[in-house]
């Protein structure tokens, strides 16, 4: 097997369990030196433990790879800076950052508390911004110093964010924000030799195992394994993917796809009179492509 990421240095956040763990293991299998970040908290973000990250590090080392654990909170700007610095101090540089850490606090909008909103936005959206901000500053500094840069920033969105899922206004808003963040950051960082892409995983993990149908066949479980997400992330982390940036990939055991972002639909000349808008707006909506459902297709405008 070719080793796509030989000697590349990668950070994976939320890598102690689930999808992040699969990322870390496959990156190491393909020759990357990995900083395994995980706060070790519960699904809703409570508590902390060094155990999950240390276990993944031990597994990587047992397989002959190189790895180090990091227990910083991704939603802490200072913690994110320490994480980036740890990679540089331990392995001499940083080539890849995979922002994967996340929590869930699902609730219908009318019942959602401020704390449930704030916690999810902090871990997902700020937890993407902080590590990315410090990594980008490091890569810019290296580029300005004349050092060749072939770096990768890989973020994690969700079909809940790009298509919309009831009961997840906090999570979906954060994940939609990460998709937009990815597109903008790709435009900003290409001058420094950095590509920025995003994955929207579909997998059964500790975070999602009780959200879908209860009785799954063995085939369904196999298709929803988090192992299906790691191959596209490993490829994006490699030198081979240098011509791909600003894209959101859906990945699961059922498919690998590129999600297409917002595009302007039908349009008319500006209208000054609000009393004349009704039939015009309805005609625009009638001629427009419907919003996608959670399967990514035009179904019921994405509405029940």
CATH 3.40.50.720 location in the chain? 9-259
Q: Is the pLDDT of residue 61 over 50?
A: yes
Fold (topology level) of 9-259 = Rossmann fold (3.40.50)
Say whether pLDDT at 299 is over 50.
yes
Tell me: the pLDDT tens digits for 179-190?
Answer: 999 999 999 999
Where is pLDDT greater, at 203 or 104? 104
| Segment 173-220, tens digit of pLDDT | 999 999 999 999 999 999 999 999 999 998 554 444 444 555 656 666
> 136 and 143 in contact (C-beta within 8 Å)?
no
For residue 9 the two structure tokens come to 């240095």
Per-residue pLDDT band at 17 (split at 50, 70, 90) = very high
Q: Which residues are catalytic?
A: 171
Sole residue written with tokens 């240098």 = 242
d(CA 274, CA 251): 43
- Choice among 163-167, 216-220, 272-276 with the minimum mean pLDDT: 216-220
């Amino acid at each position: 097997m070719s080793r796509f990421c030989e000697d590349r240095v990668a950070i994976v956040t939320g890598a102690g369990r689930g999808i992040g763990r699969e990322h870390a293991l496959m990156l190491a299998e393909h020759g990357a030196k990995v900083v395994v970040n995980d706060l070790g908290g519960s699904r809703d973000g409570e508590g902390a433990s060094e155990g999950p990250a240390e276990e993944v590090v031990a597994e990587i080392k047992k397989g002959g790879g190189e790895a180090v654990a990091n227990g910083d909170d991704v939603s802490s700007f200072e913690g994110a800076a320490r994480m980036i610095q740890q990679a540089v101090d331990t392995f001499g540089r940083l080539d890849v950052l995979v922002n994967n850490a996340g929590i869930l606090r699902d609730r219908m909008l009318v019942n959602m508390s401020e704390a449930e909103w704030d916690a999810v936005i902090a871990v997902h959206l700020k937890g993407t911004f902080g590590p990315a901000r410090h990594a980008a500053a490091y890569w810019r500094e290296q580029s300005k110093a004349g050092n060749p840069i072939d770096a990768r920033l890989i973020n994690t969105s969700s079909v809940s964010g790009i298509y919309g899922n009831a009961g997840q206004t906090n999570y979906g808003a954060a994940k939609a924000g990460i998709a937009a963040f990815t597109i903008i950051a790709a435009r900003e960082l290409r001058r420094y030799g950095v590509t920025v892409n995003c994955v929207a995983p579909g997998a059964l993990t500790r975070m999602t195992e009780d959200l879908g149908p209860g009785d799954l066949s063995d085939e369904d479980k196999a298709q929803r394994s988090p192992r299906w997400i790691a191959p596209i992330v490993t490829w994006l982390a490699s030198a081979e993917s240098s011509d791909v940036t600003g894209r959101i990939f859906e990945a699961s055991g059922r498919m690998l796809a590129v999600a297409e972002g917002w595009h302007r639909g039908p349009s008319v000349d500006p209208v000054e009179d609000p009393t004349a808008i009704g039939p015009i707006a309805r005609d625009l909506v009638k001629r427009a492509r419907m919003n996608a459902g959670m399967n990514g297709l035009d179904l019921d405008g994405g509405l029940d």
